[in-house]
Amino acid sequence: MAETYDLTIIGTGPGGYVCAIRAAQLGMKVAVVEKREYHGGTCLNVGCIPSKALLHASEMFEEAGHDFGALGIKISKPKLDLKAMMGHRQETVEANVQGVGFLLKKNKIDTVHGTGKITGPGKVEVVLADGGAQTIETKNIVIATGSDVATLPGIEIDEKTIVSSTGALELGKVPETLVVVGAGVIGLELGSVWRRLGSNVIVVEFLDRILPGMDGETAKTFMRSLKKQGMTFKLGKKVTGAAKRGKALEISVEPAKGGDAETISADVMLVAIGRIPYTSGLGLEEAGVALDERGRVKIDNHYATNVAGIYAIGDVVEGPMLAHKAEDEGLALAELLAGKAGHVNYDVIPGVVYTMPEVAVVGKTEEELKDAGVAYNVGKFPFTANGRARAMRKMDGQIKILADAKTDRVLGVHMIGASVGEMIHEAAVLMEFGGSAEDLMRTCHAHPTMSEAVREAALAVDKRAIHM
Tell me which of 88, 302, 447, 467 is the catalytic residue.
Answer: 447
What would the DSSP string read from start to end of 174-209?
A: --SEEEEE--SHHHHHHHHHHHHTT-EEEEEESSSS
Q: Does 268 bind ligand NAI (CB under 6 A)?
A: no
Q: Does 184 bind ligand NAI (CB under 6 A)?
A: yes
Least gap, CB of 48 to ligand FAD (angstroms): 4
The residue from 62, 205, 329, 335 that contacts ligand NAI (CB under 6 A) is 205
Query: With respect to ligand FAD, which residue has the nearer C-beta, 43 or 201?
Result: 43
The residue from 36, 275, 296, 414 that contacts ligand NAI (CB under 6 A) is 275
Omega before 382 cis (within 30°)?
Answer: no
Q: Which does 278 bind (CB under 5 to 8 A by kind): ligand FAD, ligand NAI, none?
A: ligand FAD
Contact 76, 64 (CB under 8 A): no
Closest-approach residue to ligand NAI (CB): 184
Least gap, CB of 11 to ligand FAD (angstroms): 3
451/174 Cα distance (integer angstroms)? 36
- Is 56 labeled as catalytic in the residue annotation? no
Query: With respect to ligand NAI, which residue has the nearer C-beta, 354 or 381?
Result: 354
Query: With respect to ligand NAI, which residue has the nearer C-beta, 237 or 364?
Result: 237
Amino acid symbol at 412: G
Query: With respect to ligand NAI, which residue has the nearer C-beta, 321 or 437?
Result: 321
Q: 24 by DSSP, 3-state: which?
A: helix
21/11 Cα distance (integer angstroms)? 13
Query: With respect to ligand FAD, which residue has the nearer C-beta, 42 or 305?
Result: 42
312/334 Cα distance (integer angstroms)? 11
Contact 204, 180 (CB under 8 A): yes
Contact 16, 330 (CB under 8 A): yes
Amino acid symbol at 40: G
The interface with ligand NAI within residues 334-353 (CB under 6 A) comprises 351-353
Residue whose C-alpha is closest to residue 207's, from 193, 220, 198: 220
Q: Does 183 bind ligand NAI (CB under 6 A)?
A: yes
Omega before 448 cis (within 30°)?
Answer: yes
Q: Which does 427 bind (CB under 5 to 8 A by kind): ligand NAI, ligand FAD, none?
A: none
Q: Does 457 bind ligand NAI (CB under 6 A)?
A: no
297/290 Cα distance (integer angstroms)? 6
φ/ψ (deg, to 5) at 205: -125, 135
Which residues are near ligand FAD by CB under 6 A?
A: 10-16, 33-36, 41-43, 47-48, 51, 115-116, 144-147, 165, 186, 278, 281-282, 314-315, 321-324, 326, 354
Query: With respect to ligand NAI, which residue has the nearer C-beta, 49 or 440?
Result: 49
Q: Which does 212 bind (CB under 5 to 8 A by kind): ligand NAI, ligand FAD, none?
A: ligand NAI
- Binding segment toward ligand NAI, per CB under 6 A, in 79-87, 126-134, 319-327, 381-389: 319-327
Query: With respect to ligand NAI, which residue has the nearer C-beta, 226 or 273?
Result: 273
Q: Does 273 bind ligand NAI (CB under 6 A)?
A: yes
The interface with ligand NAI within residues 219-258 (CB under 6 A) comprises 238-239
Amino acid symbol at 288: G
Q: What is the DSSP letter of 113?
A: E
Residue whose C-alpha is closest to residue 345's, from 458, 454, 429: 429
Q: Which does 182 bind (CB under 5 to 8 A by kind): ligand FAD, ligand NAI, none?
A: ligand NAI
Contact 96, 12 (CB under 8 A): no
Q: Does 322 bind ligand NAI (CB under 6 A)?
A: yes
The residue from 354, 376, 381, 383 that contacts ligand NAI (CB under 6 A) is 354
What's the alpha-carbon Rg for the chain, to the nearest Å? 24
Beta bridge partners of 112: 33
Beta bridge partners of 72: none
C-alpha of 247 from chain center? 32
147/313 Cα distance (integer angstroms)? 11
Q: Which does 146 bind (CB under 5 to 8 A by kind): ligand FAD, ligand NAI, none?
A: ligand FAD
Q: Which does 144 bind (CB under 5 to 8 A by kind): ligand FAD, ligand NAI, none?
A: ligand FAD
Q: Does 412 bind ligand NAI (CB under 6 A)?
A: no
Residues annotated catalytic, as ranges: 447
Binding site for ligand NAI (CB under 6 A): 152, 181-187, 189, 204-207, 212, 238-239, 272-275, 320-322, 351-354
